[in-house]
Structure 1
Amino acid sequence: MTQSVPSTLRRVMTLGLTLAVFGGAGAAVYAGFAVISAQGDAGAVSRAPASIVAAMQIDIADSYTVTRRFTGQIEAATQIDLAFEFGGRVTEVLVDEGDVIAQGTVLARLDTSALMPQRAALEADLEALAADAALARLTLARNDTLADRGFRSVAAQDDARLALTRAEAGMAATLARIAGVDVQIDKSALIAPFDARIGARRADAGQTVAAGQSVLMLFDAAPARARIGLPPALAADLQTGDSVMVEIGGSTHAATIRQIRPDLDPGTRSRSVILDLPAGLDTVMGDTLALVLAQVVPEPGFWAPLSALREGARGSWSVMALQTTPDGDRTLPAAVEVIHSDGTQVYLRGLLPAGARIVAQAPDRIAPGQIVQLAANPQE
């Protein structure tokens, strides 16, 4: 009995302490709620300022223009490998790589020392045949005189006449052989067929070359040309004489279409377009250039900056349109389809009407349905 009294007292004290703790916690919660309510009432009085956005008004177009570049190569109007028609030893090469030469300039020569004795021998043969022909004429004349007097037979006259014919034929053959030697001597010198610049030099003095072996490469001094492969459909829209723009070394120049080949390149399945480049242009043969073509694509849509796009789920795109309300401009997402991009702007197709306004920059920072304030200088 004596031990039960303290136990009961402990239970009463524990219960009282628990009630005191819960009472204090409730008072603290009530006080905190009162403070939060007071702060909420104060915030309701002053709203947060609306976000400032840059907006633009869209303009619906019937088509858009695509600028396409096609790479080609600069080439000479005429490029040839110059060679001797006959083989022999090269005695001198009178030009070097990069030289500018005029038409008719002697470029190189072959050794003709073996041809000169041959020509001299033929000339000696010609003189001997000429003497035979002279003797045959005299014999024929004497035979004709004696035959008129009855001292010569007809057979003797025929022999004299045939001897003259053989001598004259031999002279003609010898003259032809002399002419052949002269041609070979003439062709032992390489002559420039047109005004040109020397490209590669493939032989030097003292070297023996075969007939037809390349000695010098010549580039025509006329204005250079360019050869560019284009898709057949695009080449069909061009015509000979059209003016086009080309980019060479970072600068743009006007060129003229000289020819459009009627066949396809079997490797690239493209049509070659040959351009006449402007005169006075400092070009390097074999260098690359770009043909710049503007192609109009008939497709309704509107242009917008790349910064106006919002990426959605599964590769979809949208813009943030602006709707006028009594409370201000409210944002609404509008689905669009990207048709073309030039790196800074995109051509879009969507259901937005002409004159509609969209957020031009950082639409991801704006939530749908948010009231926004337009910047002082909105994009038009």
Structure 2
Amino acid sequence: MSRRATWVLGLATLVFLGALLLIRRHGGRGIAAPARPGGSSSRELTPRVLEPALRREGWLGVIVAGGSVDVAARLEGTLERVDAQVGDTVRQGAVLARLDTRALQRELAVAQASLQAGEAEQHIAAIALTETRERLQRRSDPKQLALGALSEEELATARYQEQTAVARLRAAEAGVAERKARVAQIAQKLSDAAVVAPFDGQVAIRYLDTGAMVAPGRALFHLIRTGAQQVRFAVPEDQAAGLTRGTRLSVEVPSRGQVLEGRVENLAPEVDAASRMVLAIASVSHEAGAPVPSGVVVRVFVQKGAASQAVTP
């Protein structure tokens, strides 16, 4: 072995021995020593089991109104006026908005004038029928027929005139009925130009502003029914068997610190294939002066002993 190789090997041996001495001197530091029986150490790492946030069995739910609807326009036109704003409480039949009706009003005026003309024609036809019937009655007098004052041809002509007068009167009456229907149709359109509330409720959303073009069926407002509220929640399929219609519930509203009384009203007849949950709907008590806004997240619990005391409606 050459002198250079011997020197390198000796240097490596010294480095290894030095590292071994350092490890032996500082080996216990930075490593937690095992806990001694009956003793305690501030360096011990004790495993901690997280307690569940809620030991009781419950389900998340959402407060919903007893009913809601998108109030839509029935006609095409321009939104002339908006009488309701978000948050307003409205009564059934109250006008929420109104479309521009100037064109309809002109159309109604024309239809009414046409109806008046038709009624005049009907009146004239009625007078003509009365006259022809009187003439026919005079010419049908047996005395005149016995004297030969009228020929059979003249009598037939009078009868023909009477039938023609009847037909004209019927045509005039049909024309009047058609024009009345036209007037009623336009009047109904004028009535439909006013968008009204279908029930007592509160305006949750307003979709359009004054001046917007509206098509038939276009929603203008989202209205929430006031009064009774419901909670919709989902139950795992393995727990759904414990619920029946009438089961009493406690509905906790964490954001408001409230607890409402509830009662199961409906259960879905099938399990959702994706989530393996069963949809349930329950009614909740309404506290005067403190309604819970729709959409608030709640937690639903079965009251103690309620499952065995469920009442079937």
Superposition TM-score, scaled by structure 1 size: 0.58
- Pairwise CA RMSD of aligned residues? 2.0
Do structure 1's residue 192 and structure 2's residue 197 form an aligned pair?
yes
- The one-letter code matched in structure 2 to 1:153 is A
Rounded to whole Å, the distance in 1 between the matches of 2:213 and 2:199 is 26
Write the distance in 1 (CA, Å) between the matches of 2:194 and 2:302. 47
Q: Does 1:285 align with 2:291?
A: no
Matches within 5 A, 1:18-97: 67-97=56-86
What is the CA deviation profile of residues 304-338 of structure 1, one whole-angstrom value per residue up to 9, with x for unaligned ones?
xxxxxxxxxxxxxxxxxxxxxxxxxxxxxxxxxxx
Matching residue of 2:265:
258
CA distance in 2, matches of 1:148, 1:273: 81
Distance 1:74 1:267, change over 3 A: farther
Report the counterpart of residue 136 of structure 1 in structure 2: 125
Given that residues 129 and 167 in structure 1 are in contact (C-alpha distance below 8 angstroms), is that contact kept between their aligned partners in structure 2? yes
Partners of 1:199 and 1:213 in 2: CA distance: 16
SS of equivalent to 1:85: coil
2-side partners of 1:282 and 1:148: how far apart?
A: 80
Higher strand share: 1
In the aligned structure 1, how far is the partner of 2:300 from the partner of 2:199? 29
TM-score (normalizing by structure 2): 0.69
- Mapped to 2, the partners of 1:294 and 1:192 lie a distance apart of 38
Give the equivalent residue in structure 2 for 1:127: 116
1:319-359 deviations in whole A, cap 9, x for unaligned? xxxxxxxxxxxxxxxxxxxxxxxxxxxxxxxxxxxxxxxxx
Match of 2:277 in 1: 270
The residue that corresponds to 1:104 in the other structure is: 93
Matched residue type, 1:148: Q
Inter-partner Cα distance in structure 2 for 1:110 and 1:266 = 46
Q: What is the identity, as a one-letter code, of the residue corresponding to 1:287?
A: V
Whole-angstrom CA distance in 1 between matches of 2:229 and 2:301: 18
**Equivalence map 1:1-380=2 (5 Å):** 67-150=56-139, 152-249=157-254, 250-280=257-287, 281-293=290-302
Query: Equivalent residue of 2:102, what SS?
Result: coil
Q: Which protein shows a greater Rg?
A: 1
Q: 1:102–1:195: 8 Å Cα contact kept in structure 2?
A: yes
Q: CA deviation at 1:295?
A: 9.0
Contact 1:67 1:293 in 2 (8 A): no
CA distance in 2 between counterparts of 1:188 and 1:246 reads 43
Shift of residue 206 of structure 1? Answer: 1.0
225-234 or 85-94: which moved more? Answer: 225-234
Query: Which is further off, 281-290 or 122-131?
Result: 281-290
Query: By how many angstroms is 1:226 displaced?
Result: 0.8
Which of the two has greater helix per residue?
2
Distance 1:214 1:266, change over 3 A: farther
1:223 Cα shift?
2.7
% of aligned pairs identical? 28
Matched residues, number: 232
1:78/1:173 Cα in 2 relative to 1: closer, same or farther (>3 Å)?
same
Distance 2:79 2:167 in 1: 46
| Partner-residue secondary structure (3-state), 1:264 | coil
Matched with 1:4 is: none
- State the SS of the aligned residue for 1:279: coil
Any gaps of 5 or more consecutive residues in structure 1?
Answer: 1-50, 52-65, 297-380
